[in-house]
Amino acid sequence: MILITLLLILMGSGILAWIVASFNKSAAKWIALLALLTDLVLVSSVWLADTAAVTLGNDAHWISSVKMNWIPDFGMTFHLAMDGISLVMTALTFFLGIISVLVSWKSIEKNVGFFLFNILWLLAGITGVFLAMDMMLFYFFWEIMLVPMYFVIVIWGHEKSRYAGWKFFLFTQISGLMMLLAILGLYIYHGSQTGTYSFNYFDLLGSLPGGSLAFWIMCGFLIAFLVKLPTLPFHSWLPDAYAESPSAGSIIIAALMSKTAAYGLIRFVVPLFPESAKSIATPAILIGAAAILYGAKLAYAQRDLKRLIAFSSFSHMGFILVGVFSFSALAFQGVLMQMVAHGLSIAALFIISEFIYDRIGTFDLYKMGGFWKKMANMGGFTLVFGMASLGLPGLANFVAEFLILAGAWQYDAVLATLATLGLIVSVTYSLRILQKIFHQSPQNDMEKLADLNSREWLVLGSLTIVIIWLGLFPQNVVKVAQPAFDRLGIGQNNTNDKKLGLIDTYNGLINKGKDNNAVKEGGKLW
């Protein structure tokens, strides 16, 4: 039931905030904030109580689940379930939801009620996506994300927001349609084979192991996810949508909505179509690596801070693709960590750009410089998140990138090397953010600049704490998600374990006092 509660709180408070806002704007903001806080507390309590295992389908390790009839005639169920991956992602959603409400506290003035309604329903849609275990329900939530986001971009966005909003809408809607067709295809095929027509995830699992039909149906899902992620060559909506949104919108699309696509890859593409997914692994990783490098190059070229950050996000999403299609236990954990870490770091960078915009009224990098003198605290935070985006160890992003790339190397060393080059290019734009704004020569009068106020400190401080905590103690997330990844059936380095077994035998030989040469010979023979 807790899963339904999570959704109802968001949707209900969205409507409530809309109504209340016409009497009292600040009360509406508090309602939104409290609703999200309640959800965060609920999810955290689940996390702390940790995994009272529920059995679903053929496997245990689900933390919570609820299943009701929806439209039984068509085999649609209202089925929500939470495992480690969804737990981590919903927690991230509520945390960043709170952050985005706090960020918009002052900067959104017109139509506050409708804005909060959109934000809360958007978050509800995202939460639903992370929990839905019925394909139709999943599609329903997938579409719920779309409309509020369109409004947020168009109504509260910057100058070119109509253009950006339409572009976003067209790309995601067309790709969503592909997914709908794929879902229907899967449903019909499954029904015709087994006689039971069902949209339920657990019924559909394993119904299409391989073959060309599986391949084409997978492509339907893939298109939807690759556009939303986004990756090459479907990314062209991204810079406009990210840059023209108000910052709450940018945070939600970049940090959360793109993660629904990553989640979709892990939850649906890989388990539903294991053979077909493996068959496209090489081109998929190649596209991921190309996106990493091309995105970084584009980011470096921008003079608009928000577009720079947007392209950096595009670059980092390449790692997700590389990780998912490496099919290694390390890489899968890396993907989840990347979803969280990138969510935090990209949100923080967009927030910083918003704080700067509040002060100087532009995103133009050429009008910034030398801000450290006046805003050392903001500079310090920018340093943290700039370093996060170039993958400095000690921050969560490093753990993610390391795991993904180490996993990718196990799949193919050359492709992994290509993706790893991204670590070099990411330095160029990350340092550019930091140096251009805070270190290089001042371009303008800095008299009016004021350092962070307490609300801004709270926002950036909490993001910093979480990203460092995850960087040093990632095991907290790894542990919770491991059962979910085990279910994907990817053997962890099986060959290596065997090798090590042999090595242990050799160690035994050494201990018995055999000389080194014999051992070397043994090593060669083996």
Partner 1 sequence: MNISEILWLIPFLPLLGFLILAFFGKKIPRGLVPVIGTGVVGISALITIVAGINFLSNATPGAVIEQHLWTWFSIGSFHSEITLHLDALSLVFIFVITFVGTLIHMFSSEYMKDDEGYSRFFAYMNLFVFSMLVLVLSNDLLLLYLGWEGVGLCSFLLIGFYYGDTKDAEKNALAARKSFLVTRIGDTSMILGFFLLVKTFNTLNISEILHTAPQVWSSDSTLAVLAAALLLGGALGKSAQLPLQTWLPDAMAGPSPVSALIHAATMVTAGVYLLTRTYSLFELAPSVQIVVAAIGAITLFIASCSALVQRDIKRVLAYSTISQIGYMFLACGVGAWSAAIFHFMIHAFFKALLFLGAGAIILALHHEQDMFKMGGLRKKLPVIFWTFLFGSAALASLPLITAGFYSKDAILWYSFASTKGSVWLWILGSVSAFLTALYTFRMVFLTFYGDQKTEISHYPGLAIKIPLIILGVLSLIGGFIELPHNFGHFAPFGDFLHTILPPAVLNESVGVSEGVLQLVAGVLALLGLYLAWNMYGKQNATRRVSDMPFSPEVASFLASGWNFDKLYDTLFVRPMVWLSKIDEKDFVDGIYRGIGWFNLEMNETFSRSQNGKLRNYLIGIGLGAFVILTIILAL
The total of other beta-carbon atoms located within 10 Å of residue 451's CB is 15
Which residues within the stretch 293-312 sit at the binding site for partner 1 (CB under 8 A)? 297-298, 300-302
Candidate residues 369, 415, 480, 483; the one interacting with partner 1 per rule CB under 8 A: 369
- Tokens (6 digits) for 180: 């709908």
3-state secondary structure 9-64: HHHHHHHHHHHHHCCCHHHHHHHHHHHHHHHHHHHHHHHHHCCCCEEECCEEEECE
Candidate residues 15, 19, 177, 500; the one interacting with partner 1 per rule CB under 8 A: 500
CB of 294 to partner 1, least distance (A): 8
404 vs 425: CA distance, rounded Å: 17
Query: What burial letters (b/e) apply to 378-411, b meaning 16+ CB within 10 Å?
Result: bbebbbbbbbbbbbeeebbbbbbbbbbbbbbbbb
Q: Let me know: does 106 contact 25? Beta carbons within 8 Å.
A: no
194 vs 196: CA distance, rounded Å: 6
199 Cβ contact list (under 8 Å, min separation 6): 74, 75, 76, 77, 134, 135, 136, 137, 183, 187
- Tokens (6 digits) for 352: 């910083």
Which residues within the stretch 470-489 sit at the binding site for partner 1 (CB under 8 A)? 472-475, 478, 482
Q: Give the DSSP H/E element, type plus range, for residue 399.
A: helix 396-411
Candidate residues 153, 179, 232, 467; the one interacting with partner 1 per rule CB under 8 A: 232
Does residue 335 sit in helix, strand or coil?
helix
Q: Can residue 453 be called a binding residue for partner 1 (CB under 8 A)? A: no
CB of 124 to partner 1, least distance (A): 30
Candidate residues 106, 160, 373, 514; the one interacting with partner 1 per rule CB under 8 A: 373
With CB under 8 A, what is the number of residues at the site for partner 1?
A: 70
Shorter beta-carbon distance to partner 1: residue 103 or 399: 399
Shorter beta-carbon distance to partner 1: residue 133 or 404: 404
CB of 272 to partner 1, least distance (A): 24
Interface map 238-277 toward partner 1 (x if CB under 8 A): -x--------------------------------------
Which residues within the stretch 116-175 sit at the binding site for partner 1 (CB under 8 A)? none
Shorter beta-carbon distance to partner 1: residue 19 or 301: 301
Interface map 313-352 toward partner 1 (x if CB under 8 A): ----------------xx--x-------------------
Candidate residues 146, 392, 449, 468; the one interacting with partner 1 per rule CB under 8 A: 392
Interface map 400-419 toward partner 1 (x if CB under 8 A): --xx-xx--xx--x--xx--
Shorter beta-carbon distance to partner 1: residue 140 or 506: 506
Residue 194: Cβ-neighbour burial (10 angstroms; 0-12, 13-18, 19+): exposed
CA angle 249, 29, 18 (to 5 degrees): 85
456 vs 156: CA distance, rounded Å: 21
Q: Which region, judged by CB under 8 A, interacts with partner 1, from 82-90, 174-182, 267-275, 438-446?
A: 438-446
User: Which residue type occupies 94?
Assistant: F
Query: How far apart, in Å, are the Cα atoms of 291 and each of 33, 179, 196, 226, 346?
Result: 36, 23, 41, 11, 17
CB of 494 to partner 1, least distance (A): 10
Chain residues in the site for partner 1 (CB under 8 A):
232-233, 235-236, 239, 297-298, 300-302, 329-330, 333, 369-370, 372-373, 376, 380, 383, 387, 390, 392-394, 398-399, 402-403, 405-406, 409-410, 413, 416-417, 420-421, 423-424, 427-428, 431, 435, 438-442, 472-475, 478, 482, 492-493, 496-497, 499-500, 503, 506-507, 516, 519-520, 522-524
